[in-house]
Amino acid sequence: MLEPKIKQVEATLLAYKQEHVLKVLRQLPQAAKEKLAAQVEQIDFETLFKSIDKYTRLPVSIKEPIKPISFEDWEDYEEREQAAYTERGWELLRAGRIGAIVVAGGQGSRLGHDGPKGTLDIGLPSRKSLFQLQAERLLYLSGKAGKAIPWYIMTSPDNHEATAAFFRSAAYFGYSAKDCFFFQQNTMPALGLNGKLLLSAEGTVQLAPSGNGECFAALKRSGAIADMKERGLEWLFYYNVDNALIKVADPAFIGVAALHNNPIATKVIEKTDAEEKIGIFCLKNGRPAVLEYTEIPDDIKAERTKDGRLFYNLGHISIHLFKLDFIEEHADAALPYHVATKKMNVWDEGGRLIKPAEPNAYKLERFIFDFFPLASQLTVLKARRQEEFAPIKNKTGEDSPQSARKLVMELHRRWLQAAGIPRDELNGDFEISPLLSYGGEGLREEEWTGSLKFGTSE
């Protein structure tokens, strides 16, 4: 029964000029041969090559008309409006209608960290990992709401076991294990710049995570959507693991999303540097959209208003709220693939490792913002960068663990100043535990009971 399948796989490999894989397939023992054949059967070669052909042939251009998108600014709301939005968010938290999903499939190798990026300690006095800081924010909200916020952790094949083991070793940071749902993101084959599939040391096709835009499909495949429906969730708060200032499941943001009642809500910050590596929000062909920073044409990227601000300045920072029924409806949507060139270790058909000095492979990804045009309308809420965004992308310098650490501690210092702590007492480093305060509340001397110690997290 297996022979016809192998023959069909061989024919497919020949049709798409993958003779090097065919050579490896014929040399493998039976069990390994079946594994490789099963991989090849799952590859959508047509989509793979069409996506790369489009990427290599077409220059970056925008054919559809681009216009600014309308937005709300939290700071423009009156105090009573802010209170009303925040209370609505708390109502949904108390009713158990909110879940959170963290996109955590990345490794920390670029940062000099051995392990999943969420396990990174950015050097705060507490030495807490990113996962722990986020867990404690969720625990704070869950405690105040009297209802646990289920936490969906999207990993990758490369870091799934290490991530789950990290949570177990930390006793889930005080979270209930039943409220932590781990699932793996989807993958796509990596393709060499010569159009050849890349091989691994085991003689299998190298796979790479296929982007956060496939998280809805992964949620469905893993049973997470069914879990959300069983819990009665209405909204899912989405964020990236590598933002040290992330306000997970922010009640104010939830309230704005719920009262505007669009399928998707998103937080943005003002983009001031045209070269900053974040995308921009706009209307493309009349639909809500994001232009990724690598795909913004120069004339749009550099366009400025009379007062010198970027004309398209609503920066995408990957903080969203999705209605659960929207997620379920579009879980299998055929989003476009974005192509990037990467350096990837490869093995030749003789099993020899090749470490490239330059990018040698195409990686295909779908992005979360490609769901936005499927929404009738989008709620866009502008937030303050210094309170919400401390990305960790580089080992040193800008957007590094050191820069994120500085942003966190500067924010906490401002909280203490606002709480009336005398300036002469604010020398040194300061960190405030997420278990004590979510957004700077509860820090006045008459409000806390001695659990705050300057220079530590507790």
User: Torsion angle of alpha carbons 102, 243, 93, 181, nearest 10°?
Assistant: 20
Beta carbons of 224 and 195 less than 8 angstroms apart: no
Is the same domain home to 13 and 96? no
Residue 310 DSSP label: B
Is the same domain home to 11 and 159? no
Distance CA(390)–CA(408), nearest Å, equals 8
Q: What one-letter code names the amino acid at 78?
A: E
Is the same domain home to 10 and 141? no
Report which of residues 352 and 350 the model is more confident about. 352
User: Which helix H or strand E contains 382, and what residues bound it?
Assistant: strand 378-382
Show the DSSP H helices in 146-281 as ranges.
160-169, 215-222, 224-231, 251-260
What's the confidence (pLDDT) of residue 393? 95
In a domain, 419, yes or no: no
Is the same domain home to 385 and 254? yes
Checking if the pLDDT of 448 tops 60, the result is no
Distance CA(40)–CA(25), nearest Å, equals 10
In a domain, 153, yes or no: yes
CATH number of domain containing 51: 3.90.550.10
Show the DSSP H helices in 287-343 as ranges.
298-301, 324-329
pTM (2 decimals)?
A: 0.91
Checking if the pLDDT of 240 tops 90, the result is yes
Is the same domain home to 36 and 177? no
Checking if the pLDDT of 458 tops 60, the result is no
Q: How many domains does the chain have?
A: 2
* CA–centroid distance for 435 within its chain: 24
Checking if the pLDDT of 200 tops 90, the result is no
> In terms of residues, how long is the chain?
458
What's the confidence (pLDDT) of residue 372? 97
Is the same domain home to 37 and 56? no
In a domain, 413, yes or no: no
In a domain, 3, yes or no: yes
Beta carbons of 273 and 137 less than 8 angstroms apart: no
Is the same domain home to 265 and 307? yes
In a domain, 410, yes or no: no
Kind of pairing between the strands at 338-342 and 280-284 = unpaired
Checking if the pLDDT of 445 tops 80, the result is no
Cβ atoms < 10 Å from Cβ of 129: 22
φ, ψ of residue 29 to 5 degrees: the values are -65, 165
Is the same domain home to 123 and 259? yes
Is the same domain home to 22 and 161? no
What's the confidence (pLDDT) of residue 250? 98
Is the same domain home to 237 and 278? yes
In a domain, 425, yes or no: no
What is the span of the domain harbouring residue 131?
A: 46-395
In a domain, 345, yes or no: yes
What is the residue-averaged pLDDT of the chain? 91
First vs last C-alpha separation in the chain: 64
Cα-based distances in Å from 179 to 89, 190, 228, 276, 427: 20, 34, 11, 36, 39
Beta carbons of 379 and 400 less than 8 angstroms apart: no
Rounded to an integer, the average pLDDT of 61-89 is 91
Q: State pLDDT tens for residues 390-411.
A: 999 999 999 999 999 999 999 9
Share of the chain above pLDDT 70, in %: 95
User: Which helix H or strand E contains 19, and what residues bound it?
Assistant: helix 19-27
Distance CA(41)–CA(318), nearest Å, equals 34
What's the confidence (pLDDT) of residue 59? 55
Residue 15's pLDDT band (boundaries 50, 70, 90)? very high
What's the confidence (pLDDT) of residue 450? 43
* CA–centroid distance for 127 within its chain: 23
- Four-residue CA torsion sign, 258, 261, 266, 272: negative
Q: State pLDDT tens for residues 108-167.
A: 988 999 999 999 999 999 999 999 999 999 999 999 999 999 999 999 999 999 999 999
Structure tokens at 231: 């819990």
Show the DSSP H helices in 355-431 as ranges.
385-388, 401-418
Checking if the pLDDT of 62 tops 60, the result is no
Domain-ending residue, one of 346, 374, 395: 395
Is the same domain home to 10 and 64? no
Q: State pLDDT tens for residues 283-308.
A: 998 999 999 888 888 888 889 999 98
Is the same domain home to 73 and 164? yes
Q: Which of 66-75, 187-196, 200-209, 240-249 has the lowest mean pLDDT?
A: 200-209
In a domain, 338, yes or no: yes
Rounded to an integer, the average pLDDT of 84-91 is 98
Residue 451's pLDDT band (boundaries 50, 70, 90)? very low
